[in-house]
Structure 1
Amino acid sequence: MKRNNFLLTIFLLSSFSAFAQADRPVLDIMLGNYKYPFEVHYLDLKTQNQELKMAYMDVQPKKTNGKTVLLLHGKNFNGAYWKKTISALAADGYRVVVPDQIGFGKSSKPIGYQFTFQQLAQNTKAILGKLKIDKVYLLGHSMGGMLATRFTLMYPEKVEKLILENPIGLEDWKRVTPYISIDQNYQSELQASYETAKDYQLGFYYDNKWKPEYDEWVYLLTGWTKHPDYPIVAMNNAQTSDMIFTQPIVYEFSDIKIPTLLIIGTRDRTAIGKANVKDKALREKMGQYQILGKETQKKIPNAQLVELENVGHLPHIEVFDRFIEPLKAFLIK
């Protein structure tokens, strides 16, 4: 009986959320009809022989402490989901810069672009150059953690401290997972919907416990699936999935020489390609963040680890107060 009640609750919540989403406008692929929490600026980039626009928020504190925090978003997100983090840091005097990577959010969705973490790091550095920012505290979540690591390795002189929040790439999935081509990923992305994205996040991110405020991040991920230009987004998504799978950073953690903090929600089970692993025992070993966090701490010289028990892939969304406290403490050390 209890299980039936639980399933009924999940069904009702899903039905209500889907209905609520249906009332919202279809998003264009530059999110031109969606307002971010802070003013959006654009950097004109000429890269790979294409004229592109890279969106970013640059939030100035009322009273500055002279420090800048650079926030890098994850694969299934964009800069908007950092809203509470931006506000909290700005209130403490930090300037906060939050880019949308090329292929994401309000930034250009190029055709025929070669996505690499090195390219995204160069693009991100170009924003700092435009803003004349010499050094940053760098925080990356999920895919943003992989990019933050690559950025730190490429430009160590730019990074004072590194914070990785539930980064992916803590294991090399291609050693155990069958390769899924960009073409196959593209076909899967074409089938994406609010319902499929929510089901994934519900199970992998939130332990089957949904809150209404999570709907916004699913809407931003899928609100453009009915737009006629959505196939361009689908291809960018497929290309960046390939980038994540084929460009591991796990072997280079030992090369990080700056102070590093790992904030790890230990309930997280995110692992790329996990569903394609036929060996059940092997599959269940993937994405074990309560283990991966400790292993990664050992690889990064003098790294600190904060484990958040019973928290999933998005600490800054799921348990903001428990996330922001250790972050602030690390920044002022």
Structure 2
Amino acid sequence: MQLLDLFDSEDPRERDFLKTTLHRIYGKFLGLRAYIRKQINNIFYRFIYETEHHNGIAELLEILGSIINGFALPLKEEHKIFLLKVLLPLHKVKSLSVYHPQLAYCVVQFLEKDSTLTEPVVMALLKYWPKTHSPKEVMFLNELEEILDVIEPSEFVKVMEPLFRQLAKCVSSPHFQVAERALYYWNNEYIMSLISDNAAKILPIMFPALYRNSKTHWNKTIHGLIYNALKLFMEMNQKLFDDCTQQFRAEKNKEKAKSKEREEAWIKIENLAKSNPQLQRDQRKERPLVRRKSELPQDIYTVKALESHRRAEDMLTTHDGH
């Protein structure tokens, strides 16, 4: 336990030696393995839910990466709980950037061991997805691509709709690095094969964001990446692409018609208000505007002091007065 407490040291050299020492102890003493894992869990729980500060999280995750790699199949329930209750909540901590590569490695290791964990993992990532922290969003996109690299097609089908709804938001992000990182997914051959097999579901989700931002996004690099994504979709399924284009235009026309209806309704309301006889009578009446004088609160002691006050020059006698 004291050995694990030392991982909070501010000296990276000490933490590096501790990492090697703990890893060897874990390898040699089989009876201590469950205890070591439990104590590491407790450190993570304190870090996530209490302190949000610990210097050795990256090193502990590095040790866990090699431990997870050695887990026997099928995975024990205890290990699945560790993934869902400990590793995934680590994504919501502010200092994620300090240990994110090690955390992403651990998550991907779990998915390579058991593909049925893909859905809860992806849904948890979407739940913890940052709303206003763009660098953190780029980290999430990096990790998500690593997950998609090892995902089974049968598991991809379960998560693709919420996943691509989030990607559509990322493509629309005014922060160009977020939009750029999301659009790099279209350069990944395996992801493109998954998209191609499920284009009928994915293209209708992505098309509005891609089409709109191809014209409105402020960054020229993003324009090029969007045109590339649209071109790939077009080559994938020309008919589906044309259908999505028609549907997008029809919805845009509907929006314009609704907007026009609203404007006309407001004009009618304004005209009715202007033609109201009561309003016309009120307008004819000339109401003199009365301005109220502001009054200071009365205080008898202040009033007396002001009345008895004499200016300094009144009390001084000048040479002329002698």
TM bucket, shorter chain: under 0.3
More helix by share: 2
Tell me the TM-score normalized by structure 1: 0.25
Larger Rg: 2
Tell me the TM-score normalized by structure 2: 0.25
